[in-house]
């Protein structure tokens, strides 16, 4: 399974033609305590850069953007009931959506872990 990162602090982990998307540990730390998560319905088509989800914290509301084109095949309903999971395990159990990739070549435009770490260190 390969994991990629966007400049908007989303991670995307790819297994075949399905990708799991969430926010990075850096993103959740900037948000603070997450109190609400809004997720898309399965079947929704997303284009790269589209708003895929909304996260609200005690500090601010923030959008989660689709890092690639695809169709939502599943949303993590557990986050709706327990949004604090985003702070506890942002790059694990607190994934946001799973999407079926429609243009896998877009993954080449994203960063690997080392490039993302360098990007965050430069902020």
Instruction: Give pLDDT, residue 43.
Output: 98
Instruction: Please list, in sequence order, all residues whose beta carbon lies within 8 angstroms of the beta carbon of residue 96, skipping any fewer than 6 positions away.
Output: 21, 22, 23, 37, 39, 52, 53, 64, 75, 76, 79
- Quick: pLDDT tens for 15-66: 999 999 999 999 999 999 999 999 999 999 999 999 999 999 999 899 999 9
Residue 14 maps to a domain? yes
The Cα–Cα gap between 27 and 53 comes to: 14
Q: What is the pTM of this model?
A: 0.95
Instruction: Give pLDDT, residue 1.
Output: 77
Residue 52 maps to a domain? yes
- Quick: pLDDT tens for 54-107: 999 999 899 999 999 999 999 999 999 999 999 999 999 999 999 999 999 999
108, 81 contact by CB (below 8 A) = no
| Domain at 61, CATH number | 2.40.50.100
Residue 11 maps to a domain? yes
Q: What is the domain range of residue 33?
A: 2-103
Residue 116 maps to a domain? no
Residue 43 maps to a domain? yes
Residue 119 maps to a domain? no
Looking at the 3D structure of the chain, how many domains does it have?
1
Residue with tokens 């850069």: 49
Which has the closest alpha carbon to 73: 44, 106, 107? 44
Residue 68 maps to a domain? yes
106, 69 contact by CB (below 8 A) = yes
């Amino acid at each position: 399974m390969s994991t990629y990162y966007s400049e908007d602090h989303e991670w995307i982990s790819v297994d075949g033609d399905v990708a799991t998307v969430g926010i990075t540990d850096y993103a959740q730390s900037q948000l603070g305590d997450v109190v609400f998560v809004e997720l898309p319905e399965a079947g929704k088509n997303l284009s790269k850069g589209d708003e895929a989800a909304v996260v609200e914290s005690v500090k601010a509301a923030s959008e989660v953007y689709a890092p690639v084109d695809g169709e939502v095949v599943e949303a993590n309903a557990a986050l709706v009931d327990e949004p604090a999971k985003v702070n506890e395990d942002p790059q694990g159990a607190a994934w946001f959506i799973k999407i079926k990739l429609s243009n896998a070549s877009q993954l080449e435009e994203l960063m690997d872990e080392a490039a993302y770490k360098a990007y965050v260190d430069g902020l």
